[in-house]
């Protein structure tokens, strides 16, 4: 989660929130405990810490409906949180599992391939520049990165996203995916290698969202 | 190490990148971009989520964390209808296998009818023909609801049913699914889950008929209630849905997300 920080783009309240996320393990662990006891503000903290990564993951696997899927997942989380027992990592995995199951249901329902052209064209159209603090990643938009990751085979894309974007460890990602940690680790490593290759081939085009359509 | 990182990604470097450790290079930049700070647009659902959280808590006036058992015991009667829907979807696969119907197909007529078999987790086909308590529970519900507040989260029952059903259906490792974390935690360990669930569901089984009779004295007397139970059930079902919707959102759907998976 060291990457999911530094957002000062959300106004006063949110800035406070995200500064909490700057020291994630402790602050969020406390938030989890409080939220379990009904603390609404704490729940908000958890939402803000987890939702962006979760949504990005969902966007890659479900495309345009990611927000709906995420919303449904959060409704369930909100409702069932008091019966959740576990630590922050477990919570993250729990939320992600709920969201993934919803996503799979959704895809099943739509009978459509998870990785299609749609999502990424849409990704490309999204304003990626509204982030105020993208210090490390000036050259590469979040959407461009997601679009690149989305070109991976699905298992690799999921493994990479769950680790890097959602912030799960190998074991947590494996639980979400219902696989062995070793298998997920392998998929993630392969995904990274493949990403490196893709980057070599088309990295430059990523800098221009308009080029995304050509990538597919 | 950094020298050949770009040429051939070592396992160690890969693992570091995956863990979010700072690594230089274009690939690391891609990952950093993907994991960059959240955007406001990504938090559009925040209010809805918080509102759901709030109403779930309002419905929860017994602090669930400290007294889970009491909460469930107290809520059981209220939850029967909700649990029925949950079970129908939770155990959806098994139920479908038994009844030969997919939940989606008969959704309208079945959930309430399944109230009858809510505690048995089986024989939705028999429940279907014996709509006896479909009507009854439908009538008995609103008073119960008033008595007992609008309790959300039949999740443990749903999870239990799913877990037990899953086991029966030879998906014994369903409990490995993190979705069952709450259940495992509540039971005090994975090994305890079957006993815990049987206990929980058995308690419900005992409570359910009793409270039905209480709530509606002539309820169980109308065993073979004439008329179309399905229709009545249908009406009540939508009512129930509305009620539970207050407290906890798409109640009947939610476990679906969790529980379908082991079945497939």
What is the rounded CA–CA span in Å between residue B21 and residue B38?
Answer: 19
The pLDDT, as a whole number, for residue B149 is: 42
Q: Is the pLDDT of residue B47 over 90?
A: yes
Which residues of chain B lie closer than 8 angstroms to A7, CB-CB?
37-39
Query: How far separated are the first and last CA of chain A, in Å rounded?
Result: 30
Q: Which H, E and C letters describe B113-162, residue by residue?
A: HCCCCCCCCCCHHHHHHCCHHHHHHHHHHHHHHHHHCCCCCCHHHHHHHH
Q: DSSP code of B236?
A: H
The pLDDT, as a whole number, for residue A26 is: 85
What is the rounded CA–CA span in Å between residue B160 and residue B173?
Answer: 14
Interface of B with A in 209-248 (CB under 8 A): 247-248
pLDDT above 90: percentage of residues in chain B: 6
The pLDDT, as a whole number, for residue B102 is: 45
Which residues of chain B lie closer than 8 angstroms to A150, CB-CB?
none
The pLDDT, as a whole number, for residue A56 is: 96
The pLDDT, as a whole number, for residue B263 is: 35
Taking each helix axis from N to C end, the angle separating A40-62 and A117-125, rounded to the nearest 10 degrees, works out to 120
Which residues of chain A lie closer than 8 angstroms to B53, CB-CB?
35, 40, 43, 78-79, 81
Average pLDDT, integer, range B42-48: 93
Q: How far is A116 from chain B (nearest CA, A)?
A: 19
Q: Do B34 and A145 touch (CB under 8 A)?
A: yes
Judged by a CB distance cut-off of 8 A, whether residue A211 touches chain B is no
The pLDDT, as a whole number, for residue A184 is: 95
Residue showing tokens 């309790």 = B151
Query: Contact B138/B103 with Cβ under 8 angstroms?
Result: no
Of B41, B181, B254, the CB nearest to A79: B254
Each residue of A143-192: pLDDT tens digit?
999 999 999 999 999 999 999 999 999 999 999 999 999 999 999 999 99
Which residues of chain B lie closer than 8 angstroms to A160, CB-CB?
18, 31
Q: Is the pLDDT of residue A138 over 50?
A: no
Number of Cβ atoms within 10 Å of the Cβ of B149: 16
What is the rounded CA–CA span in Å between residue A118 and residue A150?
Answer: 11
The pLDDT, as a whole number, for residue B89 is: 54
Which residues of chain B lie closer than 8 angstroms to A5, CB-CB?
37
Each residue of A70-112: pLDDT tens digit?
999 999 999 999 889 999 999 999 999 999 999 999 998 887 5
Q: How far is B219 from chain A (nearest CA, A)?
A: 31
Q: Is the pLDDT of residue B242 over 50?
A: no
What is the rounded CA–CA span in Å between residue A194 and residue A123?
Answer: 21
Enter the pTM of the model: 0.50
Judged by a CB distance cut-off of 8 A, whether residue B82 touches chain A is no
Residue of A nearest to B53 (CA): A78
Query: Contact B46/A44 with Cβ under 8 angstroms?
Result: yes
Judged by a CB distance cut-off of 8 A, whether residue B105 touches chain A is no
More confident residue, B127 or B204: B204
Each residue of B105-162: pLDDT tens digit?
444 433 443 333 344 444 444 434 433 443 343 333 333 333 444 443 446 666 666 6
The pLDDT, as a whole number, for residue A20 is: 37
The pLDDT, as a whole number, for residue B191 is: 72
Q: Do B41 and A80 touch (CB under 8 A)?
A: no
Q: Do B34 and A165 touch (CB under 8 A)?
A: yes
What is the rounded CA–CA span in Å between residue A142 and residue A124?
Answer: 10
Q: Do A3 and B20 touch (CB under 8 A)?
A: yes
Judged by a CB distance cut-off of 8 A, whether residue B170 touches chain A is no
Q: How far is B20 from chain A (nearest CA, A)?
A: 6
> Within chain B, what is the greatest distance between any pair of CA atoms?
82
**pLDDT band, residue B202 (cuts 50/70/90):** confident
Q: Of B8-22, B56-70, B114-128, B163-177, which gets the smallest average pLDDT? A: B114-128
Q: Of A16-30, A141-155, B75-89, B174-188, which gets the smallest average pLDDT? A: B75-89
Query: Contact B161/B90 with Cβ under 8 angstroms?
Result: yes
Judged by a CB distance cut-off of 8 A, whether residue A15 touches chain B is no
Q: CB-based contacts of B64: which residues, under 8 Å, 6+ apart?
A: A82, A83, B71, B153
Q: Is the pLDDT of residue B97 over 70?
A: no
More confident residue, A146 or B210: A146
Residue of A nearest to B23 (CA): A136
Which residues of chain B lie closer than 8 angstroms to A147, CB-CB?
none
Tell me what the pLDDT averaged over chain A comes to.
77
More confident residue, A116 or A163: A163
């Amino acid at each position: 989660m060291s990457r999911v920080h530094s957002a000062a783009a959300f106004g006063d309240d949110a800035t406070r929130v995200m500064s909490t996320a700057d020291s994630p393990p402790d602050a969020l662990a406390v938030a989890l405990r409080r939220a379990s006891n009904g603390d609404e503000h704490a729940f908000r903290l958890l939402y803000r810490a987890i939702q962006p990564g979760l949504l990005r993951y969902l966007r890659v696997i479900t495309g345009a409906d990611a927000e709906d899927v995420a919303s449904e997942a959060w409704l369930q989380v909100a409702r069932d949180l008091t019966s959740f027992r576990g630590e922050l990592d477990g919570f993250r995995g729990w939320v992600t599992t709920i969201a993934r199951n919803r996503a799979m249901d959704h895809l099943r329902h739509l009978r459509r391939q998870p990785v299609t052209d749609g999502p990424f064209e849409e990704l490309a159209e999204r304003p990626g520049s509204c982030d105020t603090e993208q210090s490390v990643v000036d050259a590469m938009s979040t959407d461009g990165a997601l679009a690149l990751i989305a070109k991976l085979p699905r298992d690799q894309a999921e493994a990479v996203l769950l680790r890097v974007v959602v912030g799960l460890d190998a074991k947590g990602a494996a639980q979400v995916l219902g696989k062995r940690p070793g298998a997920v680790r392998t998929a993630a490593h392969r995904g990274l290698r493949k990403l490196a290759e893709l980057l070599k081939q088309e990295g430059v085009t990523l800098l221009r969202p308009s080029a995304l359509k050509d990538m597919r | 190490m950094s020298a050949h990182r770009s040429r051939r990604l070592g396992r160690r470097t890969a693992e570091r990148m995956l863990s979010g450790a700072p690594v230089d290079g274009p690939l690391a930049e891609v990952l950093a971009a993907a994991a960059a700070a959240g955007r406001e647009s990504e938090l559009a659902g925040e209010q809805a989520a918080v509102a759901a959280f709030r109403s779930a808590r309002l419905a929860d006036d017994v602090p669930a964390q400290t007294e889970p058992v009491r909460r469930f015991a107290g809520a059981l009667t209220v939850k029967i209808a909700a649990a029925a829907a949950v079970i129908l979807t939770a155990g959806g696969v098994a139920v479908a296998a038994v009844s030969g119907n997919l939940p989606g197909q008969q959704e309208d007529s079945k959930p309430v009818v399944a109230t009858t078999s809510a505690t048995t987790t089986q024989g939705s086909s028999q429940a279907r023909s014996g709509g006896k308590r479909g009507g009854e529970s439908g009538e008995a519900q609103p008073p119960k609801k008033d008595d007992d507040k609008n309790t959300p989260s039949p999740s443990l029952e749903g999870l239990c049913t799913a877990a037990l059903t899953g086991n029966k259906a030879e998906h014994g490792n369903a409990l490995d699914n993190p979705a069952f974390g709450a259940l495992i935690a509540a039971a005090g360990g994975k090994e305890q889950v079957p006993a815990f669930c049987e206990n929980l569901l058995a308690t419900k089984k005992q409570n359910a008929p009793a409270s039905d009779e209480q709530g509606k004295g002539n309820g169980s007397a109308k065993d073979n209630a004439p008329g179309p139970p399905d229709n009545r059930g249908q009406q009540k079902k939508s009512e129930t849905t509305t009620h539970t919707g207050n407290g906890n959102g798409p109640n009947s759907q939610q476990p679906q997300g969790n529980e379908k998976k082991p079945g497939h």
